[in-house]
Structures are given as C-alpha cells and as structure tokens.
Structure 1
Amino acid sequence: MRKKLLISFAVLLAFLLIGGMYYTLPYYVSKPGMAKELAPIIKVENGYRENGNFMLTTIRMGKANIYSYLEAKLRKYDEIYPQHMILSTKETEEEYNVRQLHLMAASKLNAIEVAYRKAGLPVSYDYKGIYVMQVMDSMPAAGKLKPGDRVFKVDGQTFPSSKEFIDYVGSKQAGEKVSLTYSRNDEEDTITLALQPFKDDPQRVGIGISLVDDKEIVVDPEVTIKTDDIGGPSAGLMFSLEIYNQLTKEDFTRGYQIAGTGTIDPDGTVGPIGGIEQKIVAADQAGADIFLAPNEKGAKNSNYRAAVKTGRNINTKMKIIPIDSFDEAVSYLEKLPMKKDR
C-alpha cells in the first residue's frame, strides 16, 4: 500500500513539474541575448572587408511559465513584463510576431537607404502593396484577413504607397464596398468588404487593419541582409554602419569589436530601444570593445545613461559612446586609432 502511494505521489509530482513548463502566465520574461557579428549576415556585392566587427545585440523574450518567472525573479538582468506591456490591446501573439518581423524589415530598408545615401549612391523604391500588421475586432476585415497578408490591389487598382491606399479607401462612404486582392502563403484570393466607421473616430471609415508598406529598395551594388527570425527595429544603426563599411574602402571598425543598438530613421536619426541593460550584458559577454548607445539628445532617462549605469555595475571594460545620429557615429569611428592588438 505504501509503495502504491509513493508511486502515485511520484507520478503526480512529475505531472506537476512537467505541467509547470507548459502552463503559461500572463507575463513575458526577457533576458540578455547575444551579440552577433554582422559581416556574415550582410553582404554588399563586391563589398570591402573589415578587420574588426560591427555587432547587433539582442534580448531573448518569451511567454513566462512558472520556472522562467521564478528564475527571472532571482536573476539581476532578467526582466518581467505584464502581458499588456508587450501586446497591444487585443493583439495576439501571432500579430505581435508579425509586427516585430515587419519592424525589422522596415529597419533594414532605412539602414540601406541611410548607408547608400551617405556613400553618395542613388536609392529608389519599388512599391508592391501593403502588409497587414493587425486586424481589428468587430471590423469588416476581422476573420477575413490575417497578419502577414499582402494586399496588392484595391478594386483592381495598384497604388504607389500605403498613403494612397488609405486615401482611396478613406474617400468612400460607410456601406460602400471595396474589393481586395491579396496573397497568403503564396496563394492569391480576392474578397469584397463593406466599409464601416471606426468606433474611436466615427468620421473615418475603413476595413479595420493596421498596415505597413510592402516595398523593395533598389540599389547598386546589391545588398542582402539575412536575419532569419530576429524581429524588431533595434538593429537599424548597426545595420547601417555595417553596410556603409562594406561600401567604402576605409575600414571604420579599425580592428575593434563594436557592438551597439538603436533604431534608424531614413534621415539618419538614431532612436531609443528597449532592453538596453540586457544588451550591454550581452555585448560585454561577447567581448566587445565599444558599445554605441542611443543618446536621446542627453535625456535624463536615455538609453545611454542606462547603459553606462549597467556598464559600471558589471565592471565592463567596454567604452560606451552616446550616439544621436548615423553621421555622429561615423564621425566617432573616423577618429578612432587603429587597434594595436588586432
């Protein structure tokens, strides 16, 4: 009898332990990720090689289970976020992942444009349509379109940008219908939807999607960026520096391991990102010499200030440099002496 009880208890305990791995909590956990060299994933046709490396930095984020939640409570640079701080209102994980991948795609386009224009090379775009980022509940597109769908015709017409798409749909009245031709998983389909006023703005009508341009940048020489499933816009600055370095004969790495983070706008402005503390830890663990951090024009709670504080706490030897723009980053790198121990 006692043996049966022990076996039953062991089975129950095993069930609880295994179940704890799959039972998710309404929280997300993020932790230091990696510092990844960019030269292997960015290739400019016939581009110049470098002696050092530019590196993007990442964080690892996932839905919390009991164990990851408790582990994050004990680890200094793991962060716990309530679900509402990660997902937008009524946003699903699928929509969040699609949004992150499209933010990464936009970041690549901005980085290429900034780098090529800095190198004095022409840039143009080939507009192909729009990508659906999110579908709003109780609107005509709900249940019809999905995040990641590519809409390339409206009423049989194509448009040169998402602005023209929005203007065309917005010029119609509630109850009027539009025909959308879209692709999903390499298959095309057409649906017809009746326009409806938005609840928060009854003067506007639409089908209830948030969207982003589907466009392809046209440059010569060609450039490819392979990021697999890395999402978000935070690698923009480092992408632009790696591309520019391959376009120019001068090696701006000067033999150093240069990590960093920050969004990049088409005009070269560098913007703040989340998880700067965790990215400092990742870069330090990867042996980076220099870390470029968004300065936010010297704001008291800037990424740069948080990075410096974390750097002190972990006793890093990295130089942490405040950056507000792509040009500022290039100017700093131009003044770097060659690394002696390369």
Structure 2
Amino acid sequence: MSRRVLTLLLAGFFVLALGVVGAFRPVPYVVLSPGPTENTIGDIDKKPVISISGRQTYPTSGALSLVTVAYQGGPAAQIDLLTALRGWIDPTVAVVPQETIFPPGRDAKKVDEENAVEMTNSQDSAKAAALNELKIPYERVVTVLSTEQGKPADGKLQKGDQINSVDGKPATDSQFVGDTVKAHKPGETVTFNVTRGSQKLDVSLQPIASKDGKPLVGVLMQEKFKFPFDVTINVGDVGGPSAGLMFSLGILDKLTPGEITGGKRIAGTGTIDTEGQVGPIGGIAQKMVGARDSGATVFLTPADNCAEAMKAVPEGLRLVKADTLHDAVLALDALRTGKGIVPACEAG
C-alpha cells in the first residue's frame, strides 16, 4: 500500500471518528414533540379530570381534550447532536435553542415549579371564566405564594398572606398588584395591606431595580377564588397555562344540560383569563399532531395562533378560531346543530 493511500485512509478514519464523537456531544437545544392528550370530561386513572360537588351536573359525551408538548433536553440533560439532527428532519417535532425553554438563571426545577404555578392559576381562571359565562357570582382574592430570597418581600410577606390592598387601593388581581409596584421608583415605599391568619397588617416595602431597571419586591402571587361550589381539576403532571380554554369548556359542559360536543372528539388549546379571553400558546404544531393522533377532528385554536397553525395543520383536522370562551361555545353549538357560523382560521 502506498504512503499516499495509507495517509488518505488514516485521514478518513480520523474524520469519521471525529464525526462519530461529535454526533454524541451535547448541544444547547431542546426537542419539542407531541405530548399526551387528556379528555377534560373524561377520567385519568379512573378519576374524573373535572369533579363538581354542591351543584347539579349533567351527562357528557365525546371529548374535550387538552393537548400538551413534551420536551427533551435542558441544562441538566442536554441532547446530543444526533438527536437534534433527527429532530430537524422530523416534521412533527421542533428543535429550538435551549434558552427558549430555559432562560439564563432558570434550571429545569425552576421551570417545572413555574409551570406548576401557571397550571394552578390557569385552573382557577378557567373556573372563574366558566362561572362568568354562566352568570354565577363568586369572590376573588390575591394571595402570596412565595417570596424571593434576598428581595424586599423576603421575611416581610409570608406564604398564604391575602393581599387586600396596595397603597390603599383594593387588590383586584395580581396584575394590579404588579402594576402598582412598577408605578414606583426603586427605593420608594409601597404599602401592602394583608390578612395573615386573623390579623390585618400593613407591610411597607422598598422596591429594588431588576436587571432591566424595573422595580420589584420579589413576591410570587396567586389568585384564589371563593366559588359557591367545589370544582376540582385533576391532570397529574401536566403544567403550564395553555389548557385554560379546555378546562372552562369541560366545566361548562358538566354544568349545563345537553352535550356541547355533539358526541364529537374536540381538542383545543389556549390560555384563558377570568373574563374568558383566549390567549396564544407555544408549540401549536406539535399540539395539533397530538390532537389528530388522539382522534380529534376539530381543533379550537387561539386567534393569535391561527396563521401559524394553518401552515402545519394535519390532514383531517378542522381548525376553529376561538377569540373568547363565549365564541368557542357558540362555535361548538354551530358545529353540533348545523346552524350558525363556525369561525375558521385563516392563513396570515
């Protein structure tokens, strides 16, 4: 064998070896794929996803399924280059930069904790939105979920404190509390009136500047509602706020005569606020694949996700635009009865 051929063979071997080694090196990307679906008017592990006591309920049929996105990767379990390459050629998944899911300073545990909080808040907002749709009154309170160590609220506000007012103005919701704090300059005093146990207390805090210069006190809040009857939601390990719309529809279906699905398998997604406004979500392409794989033929889509969804809608899945909970109810009525307008998504 000539020296030249030997050199070429050795060079080729080293290139191949480097390629193999490189393929298994960790890369800062996350793979998003279709996650499980859960029927909000069905059961998980023989337990109802939505349980209602203290109020008359009615039979349901079909499915009102929430959809999820599963992810692979993250700071503590980075994927390798080969996994990322497989994801890039698979049309049912997405490969995104790691910081999209895990911004700097937020590890997997922190993200999971935040997703759990968002899910709890989403469930409460969904209950409130459903009751608003049915014109059933309820009370709303803002409570302290936790405080950040070393921040102004640390040691002064406590988990479970009910925030009654900020600077003398009623704390109508967590957004109002946050906006009132942000209206101050760092170092100025902001006064919280809270109920702690049987006591009402005034707590004075001096906000500090965050990294982007905005004032903060370091408190994580949760909106709680006092409903006239019990609504319990059981979804296991699912996190995040994107199932709000489907929770509200499931509650409505159980509280009203008739079956709003018409026996069809309906899936959908979208955040929801207490007034029933449906907001956009991430991972719409993967969620539609999961919906179609579960047998759904109709997919309720937030209006702001419609253009993106139209580019990747699976065959056999009808997209129905949902701006509000009320719009979604009307659309399902029209689908069931064949009367009225079913708002469709349009390409952007």
Query: TM-score higher than 0.5 here?
Result: yes
Spell out, residue by residue over 1:255-276, the C-alpha distance to the aligned partner (whole angstroms, 9 max, x if none). Answer: 0000011111222111111111
Q: What is residue 65 of structure 1 aligned with on the other side?
A: 79
Q: Distance in 2 between matches of 1:169 and 1:321?
A: 38
Q: Distance in 2 between matches of 1:168 and 1:268?
A: 26
Aligned: 1:250 with 2:258:
yes
Q: What is residue 14 of structure 2 aligned with on the other side?
A: none
Aligned: 1:96 with 2:95:
no
Is the 8 Å Cα contact of residues 102 and 232 (structure 1) preserved in structure 2? yes
1:170 Cα deviation from its structure 2 partner: 8.6
Corresponding letter in the other structure for 1:256: K
1:333 Cα deviation from its structure 2 partner: 1.2
| Of 242, 246, 252, the match for 1:234 | 242
- 3-state SS, counterpart of residue 76 of structure 1: coil
Is the 8 Å Cα contact of residues 261 and 294 (structure 1) preserved in structure 2? yes
- 3-state SS, counterpart of residue 91 of structure 2: coil
Q: Distance in 1 between matches of 2:136 and 2:205?
A: 45
Unaligned runs of 5+ in 2: 1-16, 44-48, 195-202, 339-348
| Of 99, 114, 117, the match for 1:84 | 99
- 3-state SS, counterpart of residue 85 of structure 1: helix
Q: What is residue 197 of structure 1 aligned with on the other side?
A: 208
Is the 8 Å Cα contact of residues 142 and 222 (structure 2) preserved in structure 1? yes
1:128 Cα deviation from its structure 2 partner: 3.4
Is the 8 Å Cα contact of residues 181 and 215 (structure 2) preserved in structure 1? no
Q: Distance in 2 between matches of 1:335 and 1:250?
A: 14
- 3-state SS, counterpart of residue 309 of structure 2: helix
1:199 Cα deviation from its structure 2 partner: 5.3
Superposed CA RMSD in Å reads 3.9
Q: What is residue 30 of structure 2 aligned with on the other side?
A: 28
Spell out, residue by residue over 1:68-119, the C-alpha distance to the aligned partner (whole angstroms, 9 max, x if none). Answer: 3233123112111112222334333322222222121221111111111111
Is the 8 Å Cα contact of residues 259 and 283 (structure 1) preserved in structure 2? yes
Q: Distance in 2 between matches of 1:199 and 1:215?
A: 23
Q: 1:53 to 1:140 in 2, by over 3 A?
A: same
TM-score, normalised via structure 2 length: 0.70
| Of 118, 128, 131, the match for 2:146 | 131
Q: Distance in 2 between matches of 1:153 and 1:124?
A: 13
Structure 1 segment 280-319 matched on structure 2, within 5 A: 280-296=288-304, 303-311=305-313, 314=314, 316-319=315-318
Structure 1 segment 254-293 matched on structure 2, within 5 A: 254-293=262-301
Q: Distance in 2 between matches of 1:193 and 1:88?
A: 31
- 3-state SS, counterpart of residue 65 of structure 1: coil
1:164 Cα deviation from its structure 2 partner: 5.5
Q: Distance in 2 between matches of 1:52 and 1:221?
A: 25
Unaligned runs of 5+ in 1: 1-12, 182-191, 297-302
Q: Distance in 2 between matches of 1:257 and 1:61?
A: 25
Q: What is residue 186 of structure 1 aligned with on the other side?
A: none
Q: Distance in 2 between matches of 1:238 and 1:194?
A: 39
Corresponding letter in the other structure for 2:137: P
Q: Distance in 2 between matches of 1:152 and 1:280?
A: 40
Structure 1 segment 203-214 matched on structure 2, within 5 A: 206-207=216-217, 209=218, 211=220, 213-214=221-222
Q: Distance in 2 between matches of 1:124 and 1:319?
A: 37
Is the 8 Å Cα contact of residues 34 and 58 (structure 1) preserved in structure 2? yes
1:174 Cα deviation from its structure 2 partner: 4.2
Aligned residues: 288
Q: Distance in 1 between matches of 2:162 and 2:130?
A: 32
Q: 1:337 to 1:173 in 2, by over 3 A?
A: closer
1:238 Cα deviation from its structure 2 partner: 0.8
Corresponding letter in the other structure for 1:150: K
Is the 8 Å Cα contact of residues 140 and 196 (structure 1) preserved in structure 2? no
1:171 Cα deviation from its structure 2 partner: 7.3
Where in structure 1 do 4 or more consecutive aligned residues deviate above 3 Å? 159-176, 192-197, 199-202, 204-207
Bigger CA drift: 73-82 or 258-267? 73-82
Q: What is residue 152 of structure 1 aligned with on the other side?
A: 161
- 3-state SS, counterpart of residue 259 of structure 2: coil
- 3-state SS, counterpart of residue 229 of structure 2: coil
TM-score, normalised via structure 1 length: 0.71
Aligned: 1:110 with 2:125:
yes
Q: 1:173 to 1:320 in 2, by over 3 A?
A: closer
